[in-house]
Amino acid sequence: MNIAVVGTGYVGLVGGTCFAEMGNQVICVDIDESKVAKLQSGTVTIYEPGLEVYFDRGIRENRLSFTTDLAEALEPADVVFLALPTPPAEDGSADLQYVLGVADDIGKLLAANPDWGYKVLVDKSTVPVGTARRVIEAVEAHGLKAGEHFDVVSNPEFLREGVAVEDFMKPERVVIGTDSERAGEIMTRLYEPFVRSGNPIIVMDEESAEMTKYAANSLLATKITFMNEIANLCDLVGADVDKVRRGIGTDSRIGSKFLYAGIGFGGSCFPKDVQALHRTAREEGYEFRMLQAVLDVNDDQKTVLVPRITAALGGEDLTGKTIGIWGLAFKPHTDDVREAPAHVVIRELVARGASVQAFDPEAVETTQAAFEHTPLEGPGSLTYSESAYAAASGADALVVATEWPEFRRPDLDRVRESMKQPLVFDGRNVFDSKRMAELGFTYSSIGRPSYEAATVERGATA
Ligand SMILES: NC(=O)c1ccc[n+]([C@@H]2O[C@H](COP(=O)([O-])OP(=O)(O)OC[C@H]3O[C@@H](n4cnc5c(N)ncnc54)[C@H](O)[C@@H]3O)[C@@H](O)[C@H]2O)c1
């Protein structure tokens, strides 16, 4: 099949590359000229495990190409994916300017080139209920007719950054929202090779497909947030959230995933999608109170370690204190730092005068770009370290903000010996509390008992 993908970010690049891997002919379009130039020269522009192999093969075998010219991609395409940003507008609703702008451009091009034939236009972006209808209107405004010249399908994407390639190649389900039999058949044919193990392709109306994506992300964000509140309460009553997690996660009605407490969720999806669903509800005159609570709790959760750090380091003013940060990405295995809790912690520390030294295996460049866009404020500073050990070296305290695998089993004796004070604040519960105390750290984590350094004898838990 001939495919155009408009928007070559995390979703567009992964989707386009995976469609090409499945033998389709794919042209990806982006307005970002420097991104397209890099892709054309054979450089993958995001960090996503497994992507490079398929990307290289797609290019080598001439199934995958990149352009800034929408017309070039649109002309041969049977199916056109819109994988465009839908960032939060000021009121929290999804900003549809990119999606509707491209729909308008496509309408213009199709009207001027009637010989290009019927196209299926696919909303891959996460968009509020009613967007498929608005895309139809934007294209029909150019004298075209849905059902005849084109159809619009809502096909929400459920990939997780960090395992995006695997998720795209073997989705647990594919949701196709359309009332058009013709478009539904084309989409089913396109996706069949991805669900050969029997996972379902679920066809439904556009509105339900659009709602499915928001419902999924909001429920997952709620699950994490619920666990974070349980953790906060565990801290107060002396329970251990890890044990509670195991205790409830074995209940098949609850399930074991998304029960890990930490310093809040981030990323480009959960925060904005929860906000957008809350906003949609409000526009309909319905106050979705649970979602507001999720957003409020998550905001607070990102800074839950800050008062502990200031208390341990002698007060609000952190001038002269060095703090190491392990992890900048919003989660491991990605370079995406959008809404990353680590960034919020860094902002708070720099505002209080701390010298922050941070390390992340993949997300330094994206962090630099983010802080260039929205500079840090305050008397403190941020520098980037070459390694996890370098970030801990000379530090008065170390904060674990992202659970990259390499942070799980470092040489902790080396870490302690290099630090000014053996103080660790673990925002992702990667270490065992007692073991850390045995090793001589004063260790604080989320929802688990803390132990003072050396109050537990070395070897006590061996
Ligand atoms: N990132 C994820 O994990 C994920 C998962 C599921 C769904 N989604 C949804 O998918 C959509 C895209 O997300 P993303 O993370 O890939 O965004 P992104 O910001 O990484 O990529 C969007 C791309 O679109 C390009 N673009 C903007 N305007 C354009 C135009 N007029 N023509 C061509 N290209 C244009 C940008 O330059 C950018 O490269 C969003 O709605 C998001 O909510 C994202």
Residue for token pair 């990259």: 404
First-last CA distance in the chain: 58
| Residue identifier of the C-alpha nearest atom 43 of ligand 1 | 126
Residue for token pair 């695998």: 405
For residue 29, give the ligand 1 atom closest to its CA: 33
Annotated binding site: 30, 35, 86, 126, 158-161, 213, 258-262, 266, 272, 331, 338
Indicate if ligand 1 lies below 6 Å from the C-beta of 154: no
For β-strands 64-67 and 355-359, DSSP reports them as unpaired
What is the structure's pLDDT at 455? 58
| Element containing residue 320 per DSSP (H, E) | none
Query: In angstroms, rounded to a whole number, what is the distance separating the alpha carbons of residues 330 and 343?
Result: 9
Indicate if ligand 1 lies below 6 Å from the C-beta of 163: no
Ligand 1, residues 72, 74, 84: which to mutate, most atoms within 8 A of Cβ? 84
Indicate if ligand 1 lies below 6 Å from the C-beta of 183: no
Distance 113 CA to ligand 1 centre (A): 27
Indicate if ligand 1 lies below 6 Å from the C-beta of 31: yes
Query: In angstroms, rounded to a whole number, what is the distance separating the alpha carbons of residues 220 and 170?
Result: 20
pLDDT tens digits for the chain (462 residues)? 999 999 999 999 999 999 999 999 999 999 999 999 999 999 999 999 999 999 999 999 999 999 999 999 999 999 999 999 999 999 989 999 999 999 999 999 999 999 999 999 999 999 999 999 999 999 999 999 999 999 999 999 999 999 999 999 999 999 999 999 999 999 999 999 999 999 999 999 999 999 999 999 999 999 999 999 999 999 999 999 999 999 999 999 999 999 999 999 999 899 999 999 999 999 999 999 999 999 999 999 999 999 999 999 999 999 999 999 999 999 999 999 999 999 999 999 999 999 999 999 999 999 999 999 999 999 999 999 999 999 999 999 999 999 999 999 999 999 999 999 999 999 999 999 999 999 999 999 999 988 776 655 555 543
Residue 422 amino acid letter = P
| Residue identifier of the C-alpha nearest atom 39 of ligand 1 | 9
Contact between residue 45 and residue 35 where contact means Cβ atoms under 8 Å apart: yes
- What is the DSSP track for 254-298? T-STT----S---SSSHHHHHHHHHHHHHHTT---HHHHHHHHHH
For residue 105, give the ligand 1 atom closest to its CA: 31
Contact between residue 354 and residue 378 where contact means Cβ atoms under 8 Å apart: no
Annotated binding site for substrate: 158-161, 213, 258-262, 266, 331
Label each residue of 35-56 as H, E or C.
HHHHHHCCCCCCCCCCHHHHHH
Indicate if ligand 1 lies below 6 Å from the C-beta of 13: no
Domains of the chain by start residue, with CATH: 2-204 (3.40.50.720), 214-300 (1.10.1040.10), 302-444 (3.40.50.720)
- What is the DSSP track for 83-137? -----B-TTSSB--HHHHHHHHHHHHHHHH-GGG--EEEEE-S---TTHHHHHHH
Residue from 18, 28, 234, 269 carrying the catalytic annotation: 269
| Element containing residue 368 per DSSP (H, E) | helix 364-373
Ligand 1, residues 17, 30, 39: which to mutate, most atoms within 8 A of Cβ? 30
Is residue 269 flagged as an active site residue? yes
Indicate if ligand 1 lies below 6 Å from the C-beta of 85: yes
Indicate if ligand 1 lies below 6 Å from the C-beta of 178: no
